[in-house]
Structure 1
């Protein structure tokens, strides 16, 4: 039985067997999304937990999906699955307040210095602004890497809400506009980042390389990749804070 037939059987004839078949068919999508997020959160949550959260999102997506609309299920489900996982991670509240405070100090310093230096701010200058030795600042960047990713995820999720409400486009017009505006803003900021920061973002998010693999490409240490990633993410988040 084809996927199209399964959708008709489930949505139009309320077949539990068809629903189960759809879940089994699309669970591979959950594994891909959970695996991708696991690279950011593995020190704090088990992969099987992320997989479980994602399956909940998949089931929700299958139940709410309108198979008659002109949109691929994978596109819709990706958003629901990722959102379900991120929501559950938020509820865990595993990030210490001290880490959040440390990251805010970095973000505040970069925000202040961007007015003078733009997006290419030397580490030495940020360390001086924070009143700490360079090695201590670099160590701090590594410590808050995971939270920097989480904070950006939350900022993006808080300002986008996807759903299928129109037969003419994938999402509601207002939401579609906000989503496109955010993409344009992030793309503009990424274009202004120093070359290494742009490259790390490209390799991590688009090529989906690990820190270890990126380190080999750039001929630097994994800790240095982590530091570069944190700086790039903080600049993206600052740009979103200024608008949303």
Structure 2
């Protein structure tokens, strides 16, 4: 195992890969709880980077950049999870609110305002905001974790979407099943949801960049992103996959 124990060498590695930390933090910043700043996420990420530098083993056949990315992202999300504990009922509440939104959207033929949703649901705007306060937290969780509850650190959304080869037949079958089900579930989404997922996961744009393209706020993009994930889960349930 190669360890960067010399202080100067480790310092050089941190400086070299700091842009990785900043990029990953920028993609997770929408999920930060109140009281935390972008700089806090960078601090969490640097801890992950240092861990990657200390633990990287080049004999495993993994590029350092790939390994560091996993450790940085994992360190930030671990800290956010500690701070932003979310009740078990959060998904059911979001699903229920999402169902009401869909019904009202169909009736109005457009996305309802908060006031319209409040009148339709019988909930106060404060109740709705409390439920939606979970959305940003959910948006920091990778799509594969939300959909498949994977325990493997290096499973990625794109690896599920596109074909991958493996010497293990059971893994190939499982991946193909995930791929087919996910494609079907995505096809059931609205165009707006598809666009959000495509820009975020395939074009690798930040929420801020997506907001500029769609001419909406960064927080609104975060809500749409999380709503798309929730709807994807609902579609997978309809397909009897979850």
Residue of structure 2 in register with 1:117 after alignment: none
Residue of structure 2 in register with 1:135 after alignment: 117
Residue of structure 2 in register with 1:74 after alignment: 65
Seen in structure 2, the aligned counterparts of structure 1 residues 150 and 108 have a Cα distance that, compared at 3 Å, is farther
Deviation at 1:60, TM superposition (A): 1.6
TM-score (norm: length of structure 2): 0.64
Q: Secondary structure at the match of 1:56?
A: helix
Tell me, yes or no, if structure 1 residue 203 matches structure 2 residue 199.
yes
Residue of structure 2 in register with 1:191 after alignment: 187
Seen in structure 2, the aligned counterparts of structure 1 residues 82 and 224 have a Cα distance that, compared at 3 Å, is closer
Q: Flag structure 1 segments of 5+ consecutive residues without an equivalent.
A: 1-9, 114-120, 164-168
Q: Conserved in 2, the CA contact under 8 Å of 1:160 and 1:179?
A: no
Tell me, yes or no, if structure 1 residue 85 matches structure 2 residue 55.
no
Q: Secondary structure at the match of 1:68?
A: helix
TM-score (norm: length of structure 1): 0.63
Residue of structure 2 in register with 1:58 after alignment: 49
For 1:87 and 1:17, how far apart are their aligned partners in 2? 28
Tell me, yes or no, if structure 1 residue 45 matches structure 2 residue 36.
yes
Q: Secondary structure at the match of 2:57?
A: coil
Seen in structure 2, the aligned counterparts of structure 1 residues 17 and 216 have a Cα distance that, compared at 3 Å, is closer
Q: Flag structure 2 segments of 5+ consecutive residues without an equivalent.
A: 109-113, 155-163
Q: Secondary structure at the match of 1:78?
A: helix
Residue of structure 1 in register with 2:92 after alignment: 104
Aligned with residue 148 of structure 1, among 118, 134, 138: 138
Deviation at 1:16, TM superposition (A): 4.4
Q: Conserved in 2, the CA contact under 8 Å of 1:148 and 1:234?
A: no
Q: Secondary structure at the match of 2:228?
A: helix
Deviations 1:161-200 (A, max 9, x none): 237xxxxx9x9x79x7677865665454223311111112
Range with bigger deviation, 190-199 or 80-89: 190-199
Q: How large is the RMSD of aligned CA atoms in angstroms?
A: 4.5
Q: Conserved in 2, the CA contact under 8 Å of 1:152 and 1:237?
A: no
Aligned with residue 230 of structure 1, among 226, 230, 235: 226
Seen in structure 2, the aligned counterparts of structure 1 residues 14 and 45 have a Cα distance that, compared at 3 Å, is closer
For 2:79 and 2:44, how far apart are their aligned partners in 1? 7
For 2:51 and 2:97, how far apart are their aligned partners in 1? 41
For 2:33 and 2:197, how far apart are their aligned partners in 1? 19
